[in-house]
């Protein structure tokens, strides 16, 4: 692995960024925008603890359990592709404001759902917000970040995602312990998500638009004004010259939609992005994030113990993401992705083996818990942060929302397939055989990363676009000064 610090590489335009109030402004932008990630994490993680109580109250079967869980994921697939297109047309900031409203409405709909049908519809609406946020927030962060800090800033959204999941696991356990015998206890778990939705909407009202999106709309003076909010004046001027040049070239080439897939280098980048999205999901991570309580119950814990033990999965996800943020400033993306895939595949193999070898009971339960924690350390410490970061980096400016949206659509459809089929596969095949299926998929993922995934670290978005254009095209390389 390359160990050169990302911050030590030459910045965009060769101008270093001096200290000043613009750094505090950038931190504020990052914190507010990543409330979208917090909502993403809470709304996907809360089902883990709410589902056992919901299943009893709503009379869910294995099929309808999968449907309630995965309806959010199907909505997220739609949200990703539509959200990507809307963020290209209307702007990243305006899109996030709209998503905050959807988060609020969807959470209330889930909270007050009287039956399975309404719950599925409300979860679908909530999923549209989750999918839109999954592509818009990382894009927004990537476009406001300086090149040498982009990895760490974008990955703070992943930190908020896993923090949201940890909050969901913790609230689930606390609410269950305090009110587990009360009717509709799961509704209290779901309603908590309305609070960060309000915070996101209020915060984004005073945040700037993405300077790169403004440049793509020929609003160069506005783009420069935003850059001066989050860069030193000299750095902003140097970076703006680079952004403007590439924005004009992209406009001349008319990039930004389906017709661009006819261009070989763009088509290959989109296919690589889709591949990165798929391999992030076929590790089976969301079988653990959505059904972790059931997995631990199957291994030998009772329901309350499983809810409490599941907090360990949330804690390790947060800690591993801190490690991932650090490593992204020190280590190249591709080696991190390979190590993560090797680690998760090995952990799943061991879960499958010990589920066969050890009898049900607390010893097996603690072994499975330790292995799910190990799995999540590799997943959240390398695979997930690298995935979201690379998908925010690899697409050309005018195609960024569209390309990320296509990759996000694929990611969420794969997530949907995992969420929908996992309880059915466990019921039909056993939990050990189900995890062996994910092991086989993990081997294929390792091969894909080794052969096809490019390195993206240490370049500005404009220089990276130039390099990928040259690598995947036979046409002459575009020059970015």
Confidence of residue 61 (pLDDT cuts 50, 70, 90): confident
Q: Which residues 6+ apart lie within 8 Å of 184 measured at CB?
A: 57
pLDDT of 251 reads: 63
Angle at 275 between CA 270 and CA 280, to 5 degrees: 130
Of the candidates 377, 372, 383, 373, the one whose C-alpha atom is nearest the C-alpha of residue 338 is 383
- Is residue 189 helix, strand or coil? helix
pLDDT of 439 reads: 92
State the Cα–Cα distance between residues 351 and 379, nearest whole angstrom: 15
Domains of the chain are: 20-472 (1.20.1250.20)
pLDDT of 373 reads: 86
Judged against a pLDDT cut of 60, whether residue 51 lies above it is answered with yes
Whether 91 and 209 have beta carbons less than 8 Å apart is answered as yes
The encoded tokens of residue 101 equal: 């409203």
pTM summary value: 0.74
Angle at 354 between CA 348 and CA 358, to 5 degrees: 160
Q: How many CA atoms within 13 Å lie on the side-chain side of 218?
A: 3
Cβ atoms within 10 Å, residue 115: 10
Return the exposure string of 223-254: e unless at least 16 CB atoms fall within 10 Å of the residue's CB, then b.
Answer: bbbbbbbbbbeebbebbbebbbbbbebbbeee
State the Cα–Cα distance between residues 456 and 467, nearest whole angstrom: 9
User: Checking phi first, is residue 25 left (phi over 0); if not, alpha (psi -120 to 50) or beta?
Assistant: alpha
Judged against a pLDDT cut of 80, whether residue 326 lies above it is answered with yes
pLDDT of 343 reads: 94
């Amino acid at each position: 692995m390359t160990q050169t610090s990302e911050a030590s590489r030459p910045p965009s335009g060769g101008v270093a960024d001096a200290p000043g109030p613009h750094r505090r402004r950038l931190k504020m932008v990052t914190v507010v925008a990543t409330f979208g990630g917090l909502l993403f994490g809470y709304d996907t993680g809360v089902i883990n603890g709410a589902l056992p109580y919901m299943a009893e109250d709503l009379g869910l079967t294995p099929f309808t359990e999968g449907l309630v869980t995965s309806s959010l994921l199907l909505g997220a697939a739609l949200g990703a592709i539509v959200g990507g297109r809307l963020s290209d047309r209307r702007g990243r900031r305006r899109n996030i404001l709209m998503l905050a409203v959807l988060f609020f409405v969807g959470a209330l709909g889930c909270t007050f759902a009287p039956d399975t049908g309404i719950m599925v519809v409300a979860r679908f609406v909530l999923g549209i917000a989750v999918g839109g946020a999954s592509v818009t927030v990382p894009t927004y962060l990537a476009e406001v970040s300086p090149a040498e800090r982009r990895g760490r800033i974008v990955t703070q959204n992943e930190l908020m995602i896993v923090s949201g999941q940890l909050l969901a696991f913790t609230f689930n356990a606390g609410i269950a312990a305090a009110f587990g015998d009360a009717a509709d206890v799961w509704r209290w778990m779901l309603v908590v998500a309305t609070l960060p939705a309000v915070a996101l909407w209020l915060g984004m009202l005073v945040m700037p638009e993405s300077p790169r999106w403004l440049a793509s709309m020929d609003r160069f003076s506005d783009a420069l004004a935003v850059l001066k909010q989050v860069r030193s004046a000299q750095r902003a001027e140097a970076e703006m010259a680079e952004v403007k040049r590439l924005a004009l070239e992209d406009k001349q080439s008319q990039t930004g939609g389906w017709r661009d897939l006819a261009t070989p280098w763009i088509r290959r980048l989109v296919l690589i992005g889709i591949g990165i999205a798929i391999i992030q999901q076929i590790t089976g991570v969301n079988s653990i994030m959505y059904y972790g309580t059931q997995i631990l119950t199957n291994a030998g814990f009772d329901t309350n113990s499983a809810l409490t033990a599941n907090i360990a999965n949330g804690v390790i996800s947060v800690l591993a993401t801190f490690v991932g943020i650090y490593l992204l400033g020190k280590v190249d993306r591709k080696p991190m992705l390979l190590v993560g895939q090797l680690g998760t595949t090995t952990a799943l193999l061991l879960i499958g083996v010990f589920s066969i070898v050890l009898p049900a009971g607390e010893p097996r339960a603690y072994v499975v818990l330790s292995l799910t924690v190990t799995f999540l350390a590799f997943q959240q410490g390398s695979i997930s942060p690298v995935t979201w970061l690379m998908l925010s980096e690899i697409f050309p400016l005018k195609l960024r929302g569209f390309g990320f949206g296509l990759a996000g659509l694929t990611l969420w459809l794969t997530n949907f397939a995992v969420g929908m089929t996992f309880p059915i596969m466990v019921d039909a095949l056993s939990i050990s055989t189900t995890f062996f299926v994910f092991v086989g998929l993990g081997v294929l993922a390792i091969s894909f990363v080794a052969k096809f995934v490019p390195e993206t670290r240490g370049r500005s978005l404009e220089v990276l676009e130039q390099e990928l254009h040259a690598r995947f095209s036979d046409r002459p390389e575009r020059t970015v000064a």
